[in-house]
Structure 1
Protein backbone atom coordinates (compact mmCIF):
# COMPACT_ATOMS: atom_id res chain seq x y z
CA UNK A 1 0.00 0.00 0.00
CA UNK A 2 1.33 3.45 -0.94
CA UNK A 3 2.25 5.89 1.80
CA UNK A 4 -0.22 8.77 2.21
CA UNK A 5 0.91 12.38 2.33
CA UNK A 6 -1.08 15.43 3.40
CA UNK A 7 -1.43 18.42 1.06
CA UNK A 8 -3.67 21.48 0.78
CA UNK A 9 -5.44 23.01 -2.20
CA UNK A 10 -6.13 26.77 -2.11
CA UNK A 11 -8.31 28.93 -4.34
CA UNK A 12 -9.38 32.48 -3.57
CA UNK A 13 -12.01 34.78 -4.98
CA UNK A 14 -12.20 38.47 -4.03
CA UNK A 15 -14.78 37.72 -1.33
CA UNK A 16 -14.00 34.17 -0.24
CA UNK A 17 -11.17 31.65 0.11
CA UNK A 18 -11.30 27.88 -0.08
CA UNK A 19 -8.60 25.79 1.55
CA UNK A 20 -8.99 22.03 1.37
CA UNK A 21 -6.79 19.54 3.23
CA UNK A 22 -6.54 16.10 1.64
CA UNK A 23 -4.41 12.98 1.85
CA UNK A 24 -3.06 11.49 -1.36
CA UNK A 25 -0.78 8.61 -2.23
CA UNK A 26 2.91 9.36 -2.52
CA UNK A 27 3.71 9.92 -6.20
CA UNK A 28 0.47 11.83 -6.90
CA UNK A 29 0.96 14.67 -9.37
CA UNK A 30 -0.20 18.25 -8.85
CA UNK A 31 -2.94 17.77 -11.45
CA UNK A 32 -4.16 14.56 -9.81
CA UNK A 33 -4.18 16.26 -6.40
CA UNK A 34 -6.36 19.09 -7.68
CA UNK A 35 -8.73 16.62 -9.33
CA UNK A 36 -8.92 14.40 -6.23
CA UNK A 37 -9.72 17.39 -4.01
CA UNK A 38 -13.09 17.99 -5.70
CA UNK A 39 -12.42 21.73 -6.04
CA UNK A 40 -13.06 21.62 -9.79
CA UNK A 41 -16.65 20.60 -9.06
CA UNK A 42 -17.06 23.42 -6.51
CA UNK A 43 -15.96 26.14 -8.93
CA UNK A 44 -17.22 25.72 -12.50
CA UNK A 45 -14.94 28.53 -13.74
CA UNK A 46 -11.79 26.57 -12.87
CA UNK A 47 -10.02 24.98 -15.81
CA UNK A 48 -6.55 23.53 -15.40
CA UNK A 49 -5.83 24.37 -19.04
CA UNK A 50 -6.35 28.11 -18.38
CA UNK A 51 -5.75 28.69 -14.66
CA UNK A 52 -2.13 28.85 -13.52
CA UNK A 53 -1.21 26.54 -10.65
CA UNK A 54 1.62 26.83 -8.15
CA UNK A 55 3.00 25.41 -4.93
CA UNK A 56 3.65 27.97 -2.18
CA UNK A 57 3.67 30.86 -4.67
CA UNK A 58 5.98 29.24 -7.21
CA UNK A 59 4.30 28.42 -10.51
CA UNK A 60 4.26 24.80 -11.63
CA UNK A 61 4.40 24.51 -15.42
CA UNK A 62 4.03 20.74 -15.78
CA UNK A 63 1.24 19.92 -13.36
CA UNK A 64 0.79 16.49 -14.90
CA UNK A 65 4.43 15.57 -14.14
CA UNK A 66 5.39 17.29 -10.87
CA UNK A 67 4.81 15.04 -7.87
CA UNK A 68 3.48 16.38 -4.61
CA UNK A 69 5.50 16.39 -1.40
CA UNK A 70 4.26 16.12 2.18
CA UNK A 71 2.79 19.47 3.29
CA UNK A 72 2.62 21.10 -0.17
CA UNK A 73 -0.02 23.80 -0.67
CA UNK A 74 -1.32 23.78 -4.24
CA UNK A 75 -2.55 27.23 -5.23
CA UNK A 76 -4.87 27.81 -8.16
CA UNK A 77 -4.52 31.33 -9.51
CA UNK A 78 -7.16 33.54 -11.10
CA UNK A 79 -6.32 35.64 -14.17
CA UNK A 80 -5.12 39.16 -13.36
CA UNK A 81 -7.80 41.84 -13.52
CA UNK A 82 -5.27 44.54 -14.42
CA UNK A 83 -1.70 44.67 -15.66
CA UNK A 84 0.49 45.36 -12.59
CA UNK A 85 2.84 47.58 -14.62
CA UNK A 86 -0.06 49.72 -15.79
CA UNK A 87 -1.41 50.03 -12.24
CA UNK A 88 2.00 51.18 -10.94
CA UNK A 89 2.34 53.67 -13.82
CA UNK A 90 -1.07 55.19 -13.05
CA UNK A 91 -0.26 55.38 -9.34
CA UNK A 92 3.04 57.14 -10.08
CA UNK A 93 1.29 59.62 -12.40
CA UNK A 94 -1.33 60.35 -9.76
CA UNK A 95 1.34 60.93 -7.11
CA UNK A 96 3.27 63.22 -9.46
CA UNK A 97 0.13 65.25 -10.20
CA UNK A 98 -0.55 65.71 -6.48
CA UNK A 99 2.95 67.15 -5.96
CA UNK A 100 2.58 69.59 -8.86
Structure 2
Protein backbone atom coordinates (compact mmCIF):
# COMPACT_ATOMS: atom_id res chain seq x y z
CA UNK A 1 0.00 0.00 0.00
CA UNK A 2 1.32 3.46 -0.93
CA UNK A 3 1.66 6.71 0.99
CA UNK A 4 -0.62 9.68 0.33
CA UNK A 5 1.49 12.83 -0.15
CA UNK A 6 1.18 16.20 -1.86
CA UNK A 7 3.61 18.21 -3.95
CA UNK A 8 3.08 21.99 -3.98
CA UNK A 9 4.49 24.76 -6.16
CA UNK A 10 3.43 28.36 -6.60
CA UNK A 11 4.21 31.31 -8.81
CA UNK A 12 3.06 34.78 -7.73
CA UNK A 13 -0.07 34.50 -9.88
CA UNK A 14 -1.02 30.82 -9.43
CA UNK A 15 -0.33 27.67 -7.47
CA UNK A 16 -0.78 23.94 -7.84
CA UNK A 17 -0.95 21.13 -5.30
CA UNK A 18 -0.69 17.64 -6.77
CA UNK A 19 -1.95 14.74 -4.63
CA UNK A 20 -0.03 11.50 -5.17
CA UNK A 21 0.09 7.97 -3.89
CA UNK A 22 3.72 6.90 -3.79
CA UNK A 23 5.44 3.70 -2.67
CA UNK A 24 7.02 3.56 0.78
CA UNK A 25 10.63 4.69 0.52
CA UNK A 26 9.94 7.42 -2.06
CA UNK A 27 12.19 10.45 -1.61
CA UNK A 28 11.06 14.07 -1.76
CA UNK A 29 12.91 14.57 -5.06
CA UNK A 30 11.26 11.48 -6.58
CA UNK A 31 7.81 12.73 -5.55
CA UNK A 32 8.46 16.04 -7.32
CA UNK A 33 9.36 14.15 -10.49
CA UNK A 34 6.21 12.02 -10.20
CA UNK A 35 4.07 15.16 -9.81
CA UNK A 36 5.13 16.31 -13.32
CA UNK A 37 4.82 19.98 -12.38
CA UNK A 38 6.22 21.03 -15.75
CA UNK A 39 2.86 20.01 -17.26
CA UNK A 40 1.10 22.54 -15.00
CA UNK A 41 3.77 25.22 -15.47
CA UNK A 42 4.86 24.88 -19.11
CA UNK A 43 6.94 28.06 -18.90
CA UNK A 44 9.31 26.18 -16.58
CA UNK A 45 11.40 23.17 -17.58
CA UNK A 46 11.52 19.80 -15.84
CA UNK A 47 15.14 20.67 -14.96
CA UNK A 48 13.87 23.66 -12.95
CA UNK A 49 11.91 21.34 -10.67
CA UNK A 50 14.67 18.70 -10.58
CA UNK A 51 17.15 21.24 -9.18
CA UNK A 52 14.90 23.34 -6.92
CA UNK A 53 15.20 23.52 -3.16
CA UNK A 54 12.53 21.43 -1.42
CA UNK A 55 10.87 21.49 1.96
CA UNK A 56 8.24 19.69 4.00
CA UNK A 57 5.62 21.98 5.60
CA UNK A 58 7.94 25.01 5.49
CA UNK A 59 11.09 23.24 6.70
CA UNK A 60 13.89 23.25 4.13
CA UNK A 61 15.25 19.76 3.44
CA UNK A 62 19.02 19.46 3.65
CA UNK A 63 19.11 16.45 1.33
CA UNK A 64 15.86 16.02 -0.61
CA UNK A 65 17.46 13.29 -2.71
CA UNK A 66 17.58 10.96 0.30
CA UNK A 67 14.75 12.28 2.51
CA UNK A 68 12.12 9.53 2.64
CA UNK A 69 8.53 10.72 2.77
CA UNK A 70 5.92 9.82 5.35
CA UNK A 71 2.18 9.59 4.84
CA UNK A 72 0.59 13.03 4.74
CA UNK A 73 3.78 14.95 3.88
CA UNK A 74 3.46 17.99 1.63
CA UNK A 75 6.61 18.52 -0.42
CA UNK A 76 7.06 22.20 -1.26
CA UNK A 77 9.09 23.22 -4.29
CA UNK A 78 10.78 26.56 -3.64
CA UNK A 79 11.56 29.23 -6.21
CA UNK A 80 14.93 30.99 -6.10
CA UNK A 81 14.90 34.32 -4.28
CA UNK A 82 14.61 37.30 -6.60
CA UNK A 83 16.40 39.53 -4.10
CA UNK A 84 18.47 38.74 -1.04
CA UNK A 85 16.43 39.40 2.14
CA UNK A 86 19.23 41.52 3.60
CA UNK A 87 19.29 43.67 0.48
CA UNK A 88 15.50 44.06 0.61
CA UNK A 89 15.71 45.28 4.24
CA UNK A 90 18.44 47.76 3.34
CA UNK A 91 16.35 49.13 0.48
CA UNK A 92 13.29 49.51 2.72
CA UNK A 93 15.37 51.20 5.43
CA UNK A 94 16.80 53.59 2.86
CA UNK A 95 13.34 54.87 1.86
Using the size of structure 1 for normalisation, the TM-score is 0.81
RMSD: 1.4
Determine which structure has more spread, i.e. the larger CA radius of gyration: 1
Deviations 1:42-73 (A, max 9, x none): 33332322x11111111113222110011111
Gaps of at least 5 residues in structure 2 are: none
Establish whether residue 30 from structure 1 lines up as the match of residue 28 from structure 2. yes
Counterpart-to-counterpart distance in 2, 1:73 and 1:58? 11
Query: How many corresponding residue pairs?
Result: 91
Gaps of at least 5 residues in structure 1 are: 95-100
Counterpart-to-counterpart distance in 2, 1:64 and 1:85? 29
Aligned to 2:59: 58
Deviations 1:12-45 (A, max 9, x none): 0010001111111111111111111121443333
Aligned to 2:7: 9
Counterpart-to-counterpart distance in 1, 2:29 and 2:83? 27
